Structure formats: C-alpha cells, structure tokens
Structure 1
C-alpha cells in the first residue's frame, strides 16, 4: 500500500535570539489528517518530516544610540619620574558613558619611531563587545607646571573591539618636552577629556 504525502513549504524566516522559533499554526486540518483515504494515518501511526535549508546572510542590522549632550569626563594626571617610567605609562581605568577607558603614554615613543624622538600618546577603550562601536571625541593636552603653555590635539574616532586604541605616534617631540617647559624636574602634567557621542549596537534581525 502506498501512502499519500503532502509537501508544505513556508516562507523564508530569520531565526535569532528574539525569535528562536517559527512554524505553521494550521498545517493541516484534523479531518484531512484522519481521513483514511488520504493515507496520512495508518494503523494509528503517522510520520512527519522537516527539511531546513540554511541561507547565509551578510546583512547586519545596526542601531545607533546618540548620547544626549554627550557623556563627558575630564581627567588630569601629574606624572612624576617621567624618565623612569620605562616603555609605557598606563593610567588607571576611568568611566565615561558607562565604558571603561585608560591612557597609554610611551615616554620614548612607540617601537616604530626612532628612540627618544617623540612621546606617543593613546586613549584605549577597555572590554568593548565585538558587536558594538563607540564614537568619542578625545582632547589630549600637555601643560606646563604653571599652565602658561600647553600642547593639545583633538580627534573624533569610532572605537571597536578590533581597534580599541587611538591617538598619536608623534604627539610631541622629546626636544620640545624640555625646551618648552612640558617636562620640569622630571615631571609632566597630562589632561585628557573624553566625550562619548554615540554608540552603535547590532540590532536583532527580524
């Protein structure tokens, strides 16, 4: 005895964390299922099957959240024994816009530069998830002890998990550090101001 069978195909659906399950609420009527001549039920048994085709999608939904008025924090450090800091001076972590940040200062410059030519300065975003991007404006400033002279630079950047650090390889020359009073008694004054302007999140695909 050959059994009849029915093929039912549904629309293409996207499964995600918000909608992990899809189906058909009315696949077949009970009358049709139980009708002996249709052959769906034999000896009180029936067989169901499903074929799933996975379609890879490159589409990514993103949600931009602007930070109203900007979440801004200014931090200042007095760095003593500048010449004894070694390869890199790292600040403590501090919070801006519910994200953790730190400063990486290279007294003798990063390894790609001639030694003792420039001081390098970077700001790094700690522990950013791979599905997020954070846009921030960063002000970097070196000041003299009396604050009568300063060297400052400002930039805006998207910080990501693959590129969490941004700054300047050649922020100020070592020669200018002493000649212009930024380094006195082996001590310097650093000011960093970070303003978080927006956050991009991957949105659930519907």
Structure 2
C-alpha cells in the first residue's frame, strides 16, 4: 500500500498531472479541476490514475489493481475516501482509470467543507496491486473500424409505449452491435431522462474469459440547431 498526496491549485482550465512511483511502476494522477467535459464531468472534479511509463513492458502486459482516491479536509484534518473497491485492469489498450464525476464543484469550492482553503487542496491515491497469475492472453486493437458510425432514426417517438426498443443489428469492427432505447428512462432514470445503451449482439459465440474493450460515443442529433448532445463512454 502506498499513498501519494498531491497539492494543487484550481486556476488551471485543463488537465494536469503529477507523476509518482508505485510498486516500481510509474503512475500519475491526472486532475481536471473544472471537470472532464469529454466524459460528462462538467460541474465536477475529475481525477484519474494513469500508467506514466510503460517502456520496456512485454507485449500483452497488464496490471490489476484496486485503488481509492482521497480529498483532504483541511478543517477537520481527515480524508474523504472515494472509490468503489472494484478491480481495474491497466493495459496497453486502457492505461487510465478514474472518476469523471469524483466530487461536485459546488461542494469542493465551498470553503466550509475544508477541501479548498487558500486556493490550495490536497488529493491522494491508495493503490493495491493484485498479483498476476501469469495466464497468457492475446489482444489486438482496431483503430477507427470501418462502418463504425451507425444512425438510428426513430419515427413517431411520442407514440412509443413499450419500456424499451432495439435498433437493427449492424456490423462494426468485425462485431455485431445494437442499440437499446428506453424512451422514459431505465431504472433510476425512469421518468427523468431518456436512456440509450450500446450492446454486443453476438457475444454468445465467444469462449469463456473472452473480453472486448470498446470506446464509443452516443449522440442525439439536434435537428434544428445542430447542437448535438453526445457522451463518450467505455464498454468492457
């Protein structure tokens, strides 16, 4: 276990990072003081743990780790712990994990909460590295796959009465996909938001232990002003 505390100011408008060494592996914290807007982090502090230097790592390398982020309460002299305790796999395909909505800016900027005092704050990370069992794996990466863009035009939206609807299946990156639309929202978002999901349609043909990492963007078109609403996410 290793803890790294990082003192920063919030004047920056973009991301910046501080590099540290954890278990002989260089990692860095990447902070978005005004939120990572590309991942729906507007209005929040966004913080990520990133592999800083993978030079010399063997092909197919991976590091499994569980980590927690900390924000120091300078008034009460204690840390706010943020993390779900889930194992994350760092690899050549995905070397960054974290939270785009780590802490609301309204809470962070309120001096009475103790996180931002005198224009300075302290962030930390605690990392537990899980021993690799040495099982061989192979991966390949497809950059900008052909047919990667799919458009689903939904007609007579006001007349949709079912809980959810599937799009037609389409091919991208050698795999078959489909969209699932919840017109009135899914589960906790029901009645509040429209919900849209990307799903793999042909997953049953793959062997046990097979995994696929995908970065994708869902977009709802503004047919009047072209101010489209979009959100980038990841699927593993």
Are 2:5 and 2:124, in contact at CA under 8 Å, matched by a contact in 1?
yes
TM-score by length of 1: 0.56
Structure 1: segments with no counterpart, 5+ residues? 1-71
Residue of structure 2 equivalent to 1:48: none
The reply to whether residue 96 of structure 1 matches residue 22 of structure 2 is yes
Q: Do structure 1's residue 135 and structure 2's residue 61 form an aligned pair?
A: no
Is 1:73 paired with 2:6? no
Please give the TM-score of this superposition, normalised by the length of structure 2.
Answer: 0.49
Describe the SS at the equivalent of 2:94: coil
Report how many aligned residue pairs link the two structures: 129
1:88 is displaced (CA, Å) by 0.9
- Displacement of 1:147: 4.3
The alpha-carbon deviation at position 100 of structure 1 amounts to: 1.1
Question: 1:13-162 alignment to 2 at 5 Å?
Answer: 72-79=1-8, 81-82=9-10, 84-92=11-19, 94-112=20-38, 113=40, 115=42, 117-128=43-54, 129=57, 130-154=59-83, 155=85, 156-162=87-93
Counterpart residue number, 1:181:
114
Greater RCO, 1 or 2 (C-alpha within 8 Å, sep 6+): 1
Q: In the alignment, which of 179, 191, 202 is matched to residue 124 of structure 2?
A: 191
Structure 2 unaligned blocks of 5 or more? 138-236
Superposition pairs of residues 160-179 of structure 1, within 5 angstroms: 160-179=91-110
